[in-house]
Amino acid sequence: MKNRRLIPLIAYVVVLAVIFLWANELFNDSLTQMPYSQVVELFQQEQVRSFVVEDQTITMNLRSESGQDIVITTALASPESFRQEMHSLLQEQLDSGVLEIYDFVPEKGFSPYELTLPLLVVGLILLFVWAMFMSRANSGNPLNNFGKARTVLGVPDGKKVTFADVAGADEEKAELQEVVDFLKNPDKYTQIGARIPHGLLLVGPPGTGKTLLARAAAGEAGVQFLSISGSDFVEMYVGVGASRVRDLFDQAKKIAPAIIFIDEIDAVGRKRGSGLGGGHDEKEQTLNQLLVEMDGFSRTEGIIVLAATNRPDILDPALLRPGRFDRQIQVGRPDVKGREEILRVHAKDKKVDGTVDLKVVARSTAGFTGADLSNLLNEGAILAARDNRPALSMEDLNEALMKITAGPAKKSRVQTRKDLKVTAIHEAGHAVAIYHLPTHDPVRHITIVPRGQSLGATWYLPQDDSANLTRNQMYEQIVSLLGGRVAEALFLGDISVGASNDIDRATKLARDMVARYGMCEKLGTVSYLDGGEVFIGRDYQTTKSYSEKVAGTIDDEVKALIDRAYDHCRRLLTEHQDKLHALVDALLEKESVTGQQFRDLMEGKTLGAASATDMFDSFSEASEPTEG
């Protein structure tokens, strides 16, 4: 391709040389070549009647025996030297009448070089413009690149990633180890008749490390890594996506063995026939081509397709069948051991002081993904650098965690004493109710400092990473969520809008118990709600699977459950109103109370100072804060 681009330049040089030689030859052919000595001899023999010197050319009229002048034109090497040398002779012949007239013309004529110089300049300009146009047409014009896959070869910054860089995903790495072993030793599998999966689908919530796992597999196997996003296939022009799919697999075959990684494959792999405009849209044609290409390479070519999504329920069944994406690898949120390992990986390039205990941080961040943990350490480091501290401390991580889960503290917001008291009573209602519920997770932090959109918050931390909730645990969560509203009604004689988020969450939880999990005796063990998110292409024409009578019963049971929880919470707060008022006074004095301080207060002890570890171990994103 580069040699082809040089062809116009070579042709231009050849044409320019031909023009130069032609002009030079044309100029020389018009002159009679005569030695300079012979020119001088003609003047000495008084044969020159008249002459004209123009530039380097002399035109002489010579006398002849026939009486008709002979005109001779020839070139002079230096007209000025000729004039100086012949000056006295020319003057004598002019005085004697031998030389009738002569003239030295000062105007400058054209030489072959001056004739070709404009051609050279104009040609170079045209050549430059042509080169710029062709370069843009080949590389920058979208019309010529629509059919090319926008792949990224390798990893960012050229940094090799291996399984040692991936923490908290031991089972996922074990699944991918088979792929790595196949790419390193394909004969080991082919000789026994085994076939490695064509494709592996990484399924999990955002931030759990699906892309990192794919890069680590390529780095561990030492093969090329081609990455592309599912949205890069889709364009408004029909056929472009299918062309890019073909180009992607052509690129992989040229550099095989290789791993193709398609991120967010649900952008192009949605179920066919789910659109409202028919089944011939661009996305479906792109998916058809992807299905064909995944069947189009053999098991021995050394190409593995890895894809990532957090919506496997909307993918086309033909994409998930054996022979295409043979295997699904669930990449979930890490447990407490995995979170500690991830924190240690991300803490390697940061300066931390002796107060930082990563085990405590891991225990206090239930539900965090790898991306969340990386962001936590980064936010803590930013806070330490902003306050000119040389190393990251536990207090920095505490503030970073509060900033991530609830937003930055708005200490500059001016609040009246009345607003602070309303917020304190609201949060105290949550905390006291939680403390007296046997199976509820313990309170870890209470604050009336505004953060984000909330005027205050009460955090509670799960005792472990268990996600198996019982009916009683869910019911007690509803009771605790109503604690703020109940406290306002009991001790203020009025209610505020601060409980809106609590009511929404309590209602959703109650509806799930009644209509999804079969926890209502009147309705029985029947699920009336779909467990997944709404996918308009699939659910547009579906109808409810239950009658209006059942819908009314669901509403009645949800309200009855909420009313029962409200009465339960009111009894708890009425019985322990002395503890609630003590907590309100502490919040108005200190603005924030840690979990240990709260437990001391509930046990009648003196409110002590909070340590950095106790403050950090005060909340978690897994247990969303109840907002004031």
Pairing of strands 224-229, 199-203: unpaired
d(CA 201, CA 325): 6
SS3 labels along 485-504: HHHHHHHCCCCCHHHHHHHH
3-state secondary structure (DSSP) of residue 459: strand
State the virtual CA torsion across 363, 369, 373, 378 in degrees, nearest 10: -160
The tokens for 628 are: 């004031």
Query: How many C-alpha atoms does 79 have within 13 Å on its Cβ side?
Result: 17
- CA 124, 130, 132, 134 dihedral sign is negative
Q: Which amino acid is at 468?
A: N
Structural element, H or E, at residue 592: strand 592-594
Q: Give Cα separations from 241 to 230, 261, 295, 298 (angstroms).
A: 10, 16, 18, 23
d(CA 375, CA 386): 16
d(CA 373, CA 362): 9
d(CA 45, CA 320): 108
DSSP 309: E
d(CA 16, CA 12): 6
Q: Pick the catalytic residue: 341, 427, 557, 621?
A: 427
233 CB contacts (<8 Å, ≥6 apart)?
Answer: 149, 241, 244, 245, 267, 268, 286, 290
Q: Are 453 and 406 in contact (CB under 8 A)?
A: no
d(CA 62, CA 47): 5
Longest Cα–Cα distance in the chain? 150
**Is 293 an annotated catalytic residue?**
no
Return the active site residues: 427
